[in-house]
Amino acid sequence: MNKLKSQALIGDIFIIVTSAIAVVFLFKTLWSNVPASQLLIRQADQIIGTYDLEQTRELHIHGPLGESHISIEQGKVRFKQSPCNHQYCVHQGWLNRVGQVAICLPNQISLQLIGEKKPYDSLNY
């Protein structure tokens, strides 16, 4: 009885396998490998602006805690500095793919990457 209790049962295996499949599915659908072309910045629920990623620029965004510094550098972006306690946002590091998000929750600022980068303006066919 004791040994049985510390071993996984059939139902457990079923749950584990189903969950694993669900996780893989989530990765496949929600994660993108496509380089992004634009950055969308929000403060609270306001859109501060949309910025081209193909530039080198520093942005200072004001939130309730103070100023967060955001660096855009030729296709990637990150929180450089933020007045929050845990610095989770800064630790996210550089973002460069569509769908990637960095959030400074305490300062209510979010960075979101959008816009598939098309390597051309028009298609010849």
Partner 1 sequence: MRPLFLFFSAWLLISCSAKEPLYNTQTYVFGTLVDISIYGETDERAQAVSNAIIQEYQHLHQRLHAWKPSELSAVNQAFTQGEAITVKADIAQMLSDVTRLSTQSNGTFNPAIGQLIKLWGFQNDTFTPHQVDAKAIDSLISKNPRMTDLVIKGNQIHSVNSAVQLDLGGYAKGYALDLGLAYLKQQHIQHALINIGGNIIALGQHGNQAWRVGIQHPRQPNAIATVALASGWAIGTSGDYQRYFYLDGKRYCHIIDPKTGYPVQGMQSVTVLIPPKKQAGVLSDVASKPIFIAPANERLAQAKAMDVPHFLIITSNTDIQVSEAMQQKLTWLDHKAEKIAKVVRFE
Partner 2 sequence: MTRSTISINPTKTDHHVAKLTALAIALHVLEAVFPSPLPGVKPGVANIITLFVLIRYGFGTAAWVSLLRVFASSLLLGNFLSPTFVLSLSGALLSLATLWLAQYLPKRYFSVITLSVLAAFAHTLGQLCIVRIWLIPHAGVSYLIPIFALAALIFGLINGIICARLLSK
Q: Phi-psi region for residue 55, left (φ > 0), alpha (ψ -120 to 50) or beta?
A: beta
The reply on whether position 119 binds partner 2 by CB under 8 A is no
Contact present, 79 and 72 (Cβ < 8 Å): no
Site for partner 2 in 77-116 (CB under 8 A): 86, 88, 91, 99-101, 103, 105-106, 108, 110, 112
* Closest among 73, 82, 32 to 51, alpha carbons compared: 73
The reply on whether position 34 binds partner 1 by CB under 8 A is no
Binding mask 49-88 for partner 1 (x = CB under 8 A): xxxx------xxxx----x---------------------
Cite the beta strand spans of 18-98 per DSSP E. Answer: 36-43, 46-52, 56-63, 66-73, 76-81
Total number of residues that touch partner 1 (CB under 8 A): 19
The reply on whether position 17 binds partner 2 by CB under 8 A is no
The reply on whether position 124 binds partner 1 by CB under 8 A is yes
Torsion of CA 97, 101, 104, 105, to 10 degrees: -170
Question: What does the binding site for partner 2 look like in residue numbers (CB under 8 A)?
Answer: 2-3, 5-12, 14-16, 19-20, 22-23, 26-27, 30-31, 42, 45, 86, 88, 91, 99-101, 103, 105-106, 108, 110, 112
